[in-house]
Amino acid sequence: MADPHTKAALSRRKLLTAGSMAAGLAMLADVSHSQDNPAANVEDRGTNIQITSLKGFRVGTKAYIKIETNRQITGWGEVTGLEPMVAVALAQSLFELLDGENPTRVEYLWQKLYRSHRDMRGGPFMTHVISAIDMALWDIAGKAWGLPVYRLLGGPVRDKVRYYSHAKAHKVGTGGPHPHSGDPRDIEPLVKNIKQTRERVGPDGTVMFDAHCAIPPAMLIQLAAAIEPYDILFLEEPAVPGNIEVFKRLKESIKIPLATGERDRTIWGMIPYLQERCIDILQPDCAHTGGISQMHKIATLAEAYMVPLAPHCTCSELGVSASLQAAFVVPFLVIHEMYLDGHLMPPGVANKTFKVLDDGHVTAPEGPGLGVHVDESQFEKVNADPKRKFVWPKLTLPDGSVRDY
């Protein structure tokens, strides 16, 4: 039988415990309602914001996507590598899935768009347009909280990003169509161009070579052996994506670091290169691969394999600014591609806030969101320029057969 004194002690202990808990909860309630408690004064600016419209614009060879909200916060994104009128039409169709949604639910909306149609999932048209929408959503999220996007992604891991092209970092192109295997007359002009570029940038400069999927494997193996003395940073796009065995064969035969990824989309497109260890540098394009959201995931995936990124980017300053938001939070980054000051878009259309430094680097975009200001009044002027009209490539070899480029 239990001691009556013990029973009394246990009852007093339960009473004291219950009283302490009640007092604690009361104090917690008082604190939670106190004006001095920071947690009580936090405003979730994303709670009551909704997407009200999506507008697409052809701007030369690009398409700009504008997303508007009921809070008068606007986001911008860029579609590249796609016929712009098709991009505009697809983006406007996808608005059906965005109407009334909270734009700060970026990952949720990315998944909703990407998985929306089983027959279009992962295709370049769909993914390129989703990339622009993703940029615009991040732009809105950053503006809603008054922060640059890279702060929302975890903050910068570097103070500046190295870029090309500039005086000390240059990428050499293929210079035309090439046969399936090369005679000296086919290979020597390419070797000469690379040699001259190395001499121009000096031993402290950077040279890259872009095979652009235009040099068939047999000739590329010949060329790679001939340019080894010129110490290029990487050989880009060694083969057309789609058959990983070709990349494995090239990796076994070429000593120069190989880079690719601009025509591969999302994390799922990058996995084979990493698993098969046939690529040294990944080159995802923010406007091709699924936007900032996928760039961030691809960087983490590649980091696990000790593979750095050298982001591909042939966007105007709008897409460049989006890509830089991701680049500043990537731990393993080699160099970033960009072409500024009217090369891909006339000055004044998309106005950058990042600074170009004399040492071949750029600073982070400034201000909330993407840190770029778009002037819609310039669109009509761009579209009136016949040199900025989208034209389908028509490329053949000397014998008249169709070639890759």
Tell me the catalytic residues: 212, 312
- Rounded CA-CA distance 292/372 in Å is 15
What is the β-pairing status of strands 372-374 and 350-352? antiparallel
- Rounded CA-CA distance 400/301 in Å is 42
Cα Rg for the chain, rounded, in angstroms?
Answer: 27
SS3 of the chain: the string is CCCHHHHHHHHHHHHHHHHHHHHHHHHHHHHHCCCCCHHHHCCCCCCCCCEEEEEEEEECCEEEEEEEECCCCCEEEEECCCCHHHHHHHHHHHHHHCCCCCCCCHHHHHHHHHCCCCCCCCCHHHHHHHHHHHHHHHHHHHHHHCCEHHHHCCCCCCCCEEEECECCEEEECCCCCCCCCCCHHHHHHHHHHHHHHHHHHCCCCEEEEECCCCCCHHHHHHHHHHHHHHCCCCEECCCCCCCHHHHHHHHHHCCCCEEECCCCCHHHHHHHHHHCCCCCEECCECCCCCHHHHHHHHHHHHHHCCCCECCECCCCHHHHHHHHHHHCCCCCECCEECCCCCCCCCCCCEEECCCECCCCEECCCCCCECCEEECHHHHHHHHCCHHHCCCCCCCECCCCCECCC
Query: 236: which residues sit within 8 A by CB, 6+ positions away?
Result: 171, 208, 209, 210, 211, 212, 259, 260, 283
